[in-house]
Structure 1
Amino acid sequence: MHYYLRPAVLTALTLMLIHTQAGAEMHTETIDYTVGDQTFTGYLAWDTEYGQKRPGVLLVHEWWGHNQFVREQAEQIAAAGYTAFALDMYGSGKLAQHPDTAKQFMQEATSEPEQVKARFVAAMELLKNHESVDSSRIAAQGYCFGGAVVLNMARLGLDLDGVVSFHGSLGSPVKAEPGQIKARIQVYTGGADPFVPTEQVAGLVTEMQQAEADLTLVSFPGVQHSFTNPGADAVADQFDIPLAYNESAANRSWQGAMTFYQEIFNLPSD
């Protein structure tokens, strides 16, 4: 099967300054861009305190869609010295408030693997072309649905230095071939996450060993799904689904990811 990817086209842009510190400014942009004939809305963040070109990090949202949580994560990554782009996998305006709608949006987005790849690559090219980014140093991280997306992009052999999955699904119909994966991989999962059972964890380890991939996997005992999101508990109560924020796991996985980026990008430690 063949697909045509039209380069991402910038159709609207809003620039905002978040804060000023010692002459530096945190910049954010809400960006409308197109892939094929559909419009998507992403969020770019970078801090001018880091004057030189720096690595770029793509973020892929949870199954709810491109929301405030993923934007806040982008700002934290920017504050750590990277340019972050929180992409949109569903299309402008597609933000779910109910699990049934989130499931529908996710199924529509993943109905064809080529479509997922096209949307990811368009966002990656947009990030690479930003004036603050060293286009030779790009990584990606995702949450839940987004964690599965970034793992699949690694499986497909995209030119990424690294990918990080936070409480993402680990199983996939896409299987990596030996020598195909270019990215180093980090996975953080909850040991009590019913959406990521033990069989998925074991299956990923076996798959990555056979593919000769560089995998680090951390499982937090007793931790449930969506452990990085402080809003998880309220959603769990509202819809009676097994989600729970865990501050320790969230902090440990974040620090692990930041150390990972320092390593893969050959950056000096703090």
Structure 2
Amino acid sequence: MQISTRETWFGITGWEEYSLITSTEGLFKIQHTDLPLSYYTGLLGMPGITAYFGFYEICSPKQGETVFISASSGAVGQLVGQFAKLSGCYVVGSAGSKDKVNLLKNKFGFDDAFNYKEEPDLNAALKRYFPNGIDIYFENVGGKMLDAVLLNMRVHGRISACGMISQYNLEELEGVTNLFNIVTKRIHMKGFVISDHYHIYPKFLDTVVPLIREGKITYVEDIAQGLESAPTALVGLFSGRNIGKQVVVVARE
């Protein structure tokens, strides 16, 4: 959004072509105008800081650790995987199609990935990819996936609970039966809402902007054109139709 002819800001407004902004509270001034403005809806916006905080601040990764990310081709997951690789970790992601699995391995640099829809036994699949267990799990899905992951976590593992998209539209939520592993394996599991942590945004920018400019991070956007396409784009998120950050282009300068 344009506040004046000299300043560009980003933040949350309505689904509309024009917004009247009366206060900059909750908005952020864009400092790095040489980077694509759309990045501020994803890589340099809420999804980016979510990935950064959830992985670094909650999981405290160490070189050589094993990392599993569910819904890993999405706006957050693709970044967590790249942060993990930059930290010297072994990284595996799950996604919902062959194309997304190929993207994870060939574009985002994951060590491996699998299509969860083709795995009748998630516990067996995780044992195949993590024969010695999982140190860090970045949770985006919940339900059966979380239940299987708990069986495969290592002692003193960490789980960053970012979201549980498999549960959002269910009339009756799925139960998780393997929670006792949190006790026996001394697992640290923490949920978070990123709006509580925007104070780290300058630190996040100092870390991520140089990585973008050095070509060490790549990012994929799924772009829909026009405000009229927004409802369809939103519904597509829940079936996994999008690849990467879903962006709706309303207007261009």
TM-score by structure 2 length?
Answer: 0.36
More relative contact order in 1 or in 2 (CA 8 Å, sep 6+)? 2
The structure in which a higher percent of residues are strand is 1
